[in-house]
Amino acid sequence: MSQREPSSIFASCCLFFVPMDGLSARATKLMKPRVLEMGGRVEDQLTVIFSGDLTQQEEDDNDVIDLEQDDERVMNPVVTHLIVARSVNSDSFLRYLGRHDISEAMIARLHVVTDGWVTDSIKKKQRLNEKDHQFPYHSVASSPALSRQATPTQSPPPPSPPLTPPDPPLPLALAASGGATVPRVPAVKMEASIPEVKMEVCSAHGGGGEEEEYHHTRPSMERNRRLAKMFKQLSSVYKAIATEPSQDFQRYRHYSRISEIVSTWPEPIESVQDLRPLRGCYGAKTDEKVNEFFRTGSSQRLAHLLSDERTKAFMEFQQIWHVGAAESNKLYRRGLRTLADVKRHPEYLSTDLQRRCLKYVEDFQKKMTRAEVEEAHQQVCSVAERLYPGELHIVLTGSYRRGDAQTKDIDFLITRHDDREVADEVNRIVDSLSHDGFMTDTLVLSPGCGFGAKSEHKSVTFYGVCRPRKGGPLRRIDMWMQHRSEYAFALLHCTGSAQFNITMRTHADKMGLQLTQHKLAKVIEATGSKQGARRSGQSRNLTHEGPPIPCETEEEIFTAMGLRYRPPPQRFHDRDFGAECHEAIAHRKLTWYWPDGGAVDSSGEPLAKRRKKDDIPRPPIVDQLLVRQQHQLQLKRERAMAAGNLKGAMMALKGA
C-alpha cells in the first residue's frame, strides 16, 4: 500500500470490531480513538433495520411505533472492514454470522481482517495491505447455518460507494474590490455521500458476542431496542395530547430524549443501575418504567394511554398537517372521534389551511425513498440554475442528510453565493415549478424571518405540496432561504434531529451563549432571571453583548461551543453526547471575549483570537430588585439606630 499521512491512513475505512473472544470491549475502546484520529470511522452496528412497510415506520411527529412490527435486518452499508481477533477460529466466526442471519454473500464486499491489521497499521503509521492480514473462514457449503441463506445463484451485492469528502465551505469573504465578480458555481451542490439506511441500534451483539434468543428478562441489544421503542411510543402519545407549555409537553421531550439515549446505548442494559450516570436526565418514575419493562416486557402506563378514547382520537386527528393538541381538543369536544368524522364535517376545522390539508392525509403518511428525494432535488436545482445561473447553493437537509433510508418530506436549504440579501428567489422558483406541474399547492409562504427568530437579514420559509414522480403520491416539501452569513447555523438547525438541537441549545445556554438558526452570540439574561434556566411558559428577555461569533461551517460552531464535531448521521442524543454536554455545566459562568468579531482569517482558524474574559474587566450584572431590598433594610436599620432600638437594628442587619 502507498504511504499516507499518519492522520489519514484509515481514510475511507469504516471498521466494525466483531465482539468475540480476543476482542474485548476494553480492547476495542483502546483502538477506537486511534482509528478516529487517523481518519477512520468505527461503527457499533453490523446490521441495520430496514422497514418494508413504509406507512408504519416511525420517523416524524404523529407516528406510533408498533412494538411487534417485523423489521428486516440488512448489512450496514457504511462498514468496509470486519475486524476479527486472531484467536478466533473460522467455525466460531461462521456460527456468529449464522446467529445474526448474515450470509457469506452479504460480507463478500467487505475486508475481513484480523486485529493485527489495525495494530500494525497504527504502529507503522501506514495502511497495510488487507490481503496480508486476511481472516480465513470456510465456504458457505461447510456451514449449515449459512447454507440455507446463500444459494449458488446468489451474487455478492455491489460494493457501497466510498464516502466522499464534504464540499468546501461557502466563502464568507468576497474580494475587497468593488468590481470583483462572484465566480460561477453550479446551483446543484451535492453533499458528501451519506449512508442510505438509518443507523438504528439493532446489531445483536453483546457480552462477548454470545447472544441468546430475545426475552425481556435477559439483557441483549434487542431488549435495548424494544425498550427504546417503548419510550418513543410514550413520547409520541404525550406529544399528541400535550399543549405547550404543559406537564405532558415536558414528558414528551423527556421520553424522546431517553429513547434516543437507550437506542444508542453501546452494550446491553443489564439493570437500571447501568443508567445511573444519566440521573441528571431522568428521575425515579423513569426507573420504575425501566424495571417494569424488564419484568413484564411492557408498560401499563403506555397500555392505558393507548386504550384511552381521547388519546386515540387526538393521534388520529393529528395525521392532518397543521393540526395540534389544541385543535384536536376542539374537534373532540364537538363529538368527533375519528378521521372519518372529520372528513364528514370539515367545517369543524378552524382554518382553511387545515381543510386543504385534510385531502392530503393519506399521501402525507406515506414514506418516500432516498431516490425519490434525489429526483425532486434535481428538478428544483435545474429550475434554480435556469433562473439564477451560478448564484444559488441548494442542499437537502432533514432526515435525508442524517442518512435515513425513508423520509416523509423533502427539506431544502437555499442560500446565495454572494453577499446580497434574500429577495424573491423562492417565489420565482416555486412559480416555475408550479408551471412545470411539479409544485401542486402552497401551504405557507412566509417572507421575512420565517423561522420566528430575530435576525439582521431577511429569510424566507416555504411549505408546500409537490409530486416528484408522475402518477405518484403527493409529497410535503419545505424550503428555507437564508443569508450566506447564516448558512452554517441554518444548516445545523435544519439537519436535526430535534432532540439533538434542543441539547445543543441548552448547552449553549449554560455557557452564557445563545444558539439559533441565525447566529451564535454571547448573551446576558434580563434582571432577576437565573442564568442557564429554561422555564416552560416563561419568556426570557436576552440582551446581546457584542457581535456574534463568525462561523462558516458546522465544525466551527461545535468548536465555539467546546464540543466534538458530529457528522449528520451521528446527530442524536446518545450517552456520550449527554455526558459531553453535562461536563460543560461547570463552565456555564464562563464568558468569552471576541476582540472585533470581524471576518474569518485566512489561516482557517476563526476562533484563534478568542480568549477568556478573565483578563478583561467585566461590569457586574446588577439585580435591581435585590438592590432595592437592601436599600430598604439599610434605611430601616438607620432609623432603628437613630431611635435607640438596638433590637430592631440587629433584625434589619440580619435581614440584610
Strands of 45-155, DSSP E:
47-50, 72-75, 81-84, 111-114
- Beta carbons within 8 Å of 241's beta carbon, 6+ residues apart: 248, 310, 311, 314, 325, 328
Q: Which residues pair with 82 in a beta bridge?
A: 16, 112
How far apart are alpha carbons 555 and 558 in whole angstroms? 5
Which of 239, 289, 510, 519 is labelled catalytic?
289
Q: Are 371 and 22 in contact (CB under 8 A)?
A: no
269 in Cβ contact with 277 (< 8 Å) = no
Select from 584, 395, 569 the least CA-distant residue to 496: 569
At residue 288, the 3 state secondary structure works out as helix
- Amino acid identity for residue 341 in this structure: D
Residue type, 88: V
- 209 grid coordinates: 458476542
At 526, the amino acid letter reads: A
The count of other CB atoms within 10 Å of the CB of residue 110 is 20
| Nine cell digits for residue 222 | 434487542
- 585, containing H or E segment: none
Q: How far apart are CA 162 and CA 14, in angstroms?
A: 10
Backbone angles phi, psi at 365, to 5 degrees: -80, -15
Helix 624-642, helix 646-655: angle, nearest 10: 170
CA 188 to mean position of chain CA atoms: 24
Any catalytic annotation for residue 289? yes
Q: Which amino acid is at 56?
A: Q
* Run of H or E including 523: strand 520-525
Q: Residue 210: name the closest of 268, 269, 275 by CA.
A: 268
Residue 533 CA: distances (Å) to CA of 214, 465, 540, 588: 42, 39, 10, 11
CA distance 236 to 242: 10
> Phi first, then psi: what are they for 494, rounded to 5°?
-75, -20
For residue 61, how many other CB atoms are within 10 A of its CB? 13
SS3 of residue 75 by DSSP: strand
| 384, 431 Cβ separation under 8 angstroms | no
Name which of 571, 578, 576 is nearest 194 in CA terms: 571
Task: Please measure the distance between the N-terminal and C-terminal CA atoms of the chain and give it in whole angstroms.
Answer: 75
Cell numbers found for residue 285: 418514575
Cβ atoms within 10 Å, residue 334:
11
Are 115 and 93 contacting, i.e. CB atoms less than 8 angstroms apart?
A: no
CB 313 within 8 A of CB 336: yes
Residues designated as active site? 289
